Amino acid sequence: MGDISLTTAPRTNLLSLQRTTGLIGRTQERLATGLKVNSAIDDALSFFKARNLNSRASDLLSIKTGITDGINVIKSAIQGLETTESILKQMKALAQSAVSSPESSTRAKLASQFNELRSQVDNILEDSSFNGVNLLKNSTASFQSGADILTVKFNERTDAKAINQLIVSGMATSDFNTIVSRSVIATGTAGATTVWGQTGTAAITAINAALRAVDSALITVRQSAQTFGTRASLLEIRRAFTENIVNTLKGGAADLVNADLNEESAKLLSLQTRQQLGTISLSIAQQSEQAVLRLFS
């Protein structure tokens, strides 16, 4: 069969009705997806610009996760140092009690308690890690290698000159030794107990040496905690900044492609009314052709 020819009036009305139906379909898609630009066909410039903005926002979200991990690593170190400070204070109190105690047996018992607390300092520093990173102790090698190093990136760049990052050095071996090794009373628990349990000036001399070692360790702990606290504050600032940048990027992308649902709903109602009128108009246009059939009836 050949094509069916339509007169001008029905064809015009049919074309208008088809266009209205197409607009209704597009409006319904916008309402369903919430987007006025669903593909490059709708608006290539806005589509690809929004994609680039969202891609950078995604990269910065990964950066934000790394910053959060870095903050937790530093917080773990600070918590370890704060706990260590509490133990050192107890050790200092024990040593001060031993100095004022006249009985050698009492000093020997205090020495045993002192050394027990000192061993806990070692354990706490070793356990102050997060996600395998320990700023107070090297988590993969010996103490003599120094503590781990934390590197936190602030942007998504990969070229060396453009990388913005913060490198947080862990506790130096000398600082670690100040906290752990120099707070030992003597060469070992047995030796320490023996020294503190002696009579005369030897015990007092040993106890005073332990007090000086604890005071030195306390200074190191407090200074290290202050340094790590400053780094954590900086990372908190960078995390907040990154969050704001991500929100700005996502907002910019949304402005480019998101649909105004109120406006699209109003358009849909108007288009449905137009569709109904178009159907009526097409029917009226066809009535003139039906009049020809009556001539043969």
List pLDDT tens digits, range 248-272. Answer: 999 999 888 877 777 767 877 777 7
- How many whole angstroms from its chain centre is CA 133? 16
CATH code assigned at 204:
1.20.1330.10
Q: For residue 18, is it within any domain?
A: no
CA distance 225 to 205: 30
Domain of 285, in residue numbers? 260-297
User: Quick one: pLDDT at residue 251?
Assistant: 92
Do 230 and 183 reside in the same domain of the chain? yes
List b or e across 14-45, with b for residues whose CB sees 16 or more CB atoms inside 10 angstroms. Answer: bebbeebeebbebbeebeeeebbbbeeeebee
Would you say 14 and 6 are in contact if contact means Cβ atoms under 8 Å apart? yes
Same-domain pairing of 274 and 167: no
Q: What is the pLDDT of residue 144?
A: 47
pLDDT at 66: 93
- Residues 148 and 282 reside in one and the same domain: no
Same structural domain for residues 90 and 230? yes
What pLDDT shows up at residue 186?
A: 46
Q: Quote the number of domains for the chain.
A: 2
Q: Do residues 14 and 5 touch, judged by C-beta distance below 8 A?
A: no
Per-residue confidence (pLDDT) for residue 188, from 0 to 100: 41
The whole-number pLDDT of residue 79 equals 95
Q: How far apart are CA 138 and CA 132, in angstroms?
A: 10
Q: Is residue 278 part of a domain?
A: yes
Beta strands 149-153 and 165-169, pairing class: antiparallel
Is there a single domain that holds both residue 233 and residue 284? no
Instruction: Assess whether 68 and 177 both reside in one domain.
Output: yes
Same domain, 59 and 116: yes
pLDDT of residue 1: 44
What's the pLDDT at 9?
Answer: 65
Is the same domain home to 165 and 220? Answer: yes
Say whether both 64 and 112 belong to one domain: yes
Residues 212 and 293 in one domain: no
Extract the runs of DSSP E, i.e. beta strands, from the chain.
Answer: 149-153, 165-169
- pTM assigned to the model: 0.75
Q: Which residues of the chain have pLDDT under 50?
A: 1, 143-144, 182-184, 186-193
